[in-house]
Amino acid sequence: MPEITRFLGIIITMYFDEHNPPHFHVRYNEYRASINIKNLNIIAGYLPAKVRGLVVEWAELNQVELMKMWETKEFYRLKPLV
């Protein structure tokens, strides 16, 4: 599972042979979640509210790139939330 970015203890990854809907995975300490790329809702798992807010903020900035990665299966790293 390639790591797309890492910031503030949050790790964001994506599997490239996964099922729809298009999504990415988030790990933070003992928490795990899958986030829908199109609407940025959690589709599985749980994240604390503050972490979820940071992930959504980052994903909004990178939504186009995330969809492109999902569709093309071409991996590249994205800048972390600063």
Q: How many domains does the chain have?
A: 1
pLDDT in tens, the chain (82 residues): 799 999 999 999 999 788 889 999 999 999 999 999 999 999 999 999 999 999 999 999 999 999 999 999 999 999 999 8
Q: What is the largest CA-CA distance in the chain?
A: 31
Let me know if residue 80 belongs to a domain.
no
Write down the pLDDT at residue 41: 98
Which class for 69: exposed (0-12), middle (13-18), buried (19 or more C-beta within 10 A)? buried
Query: What is the domain extent for residue 36?
Result: 3-72
Let me know if residue 54 belongs to a domain.
yes
pTM, rounded to two decimals: 0.94
Let me know if residue 39 belongs to a domain.
yes
Let me know if residue 19 belongs to a domain.
yes
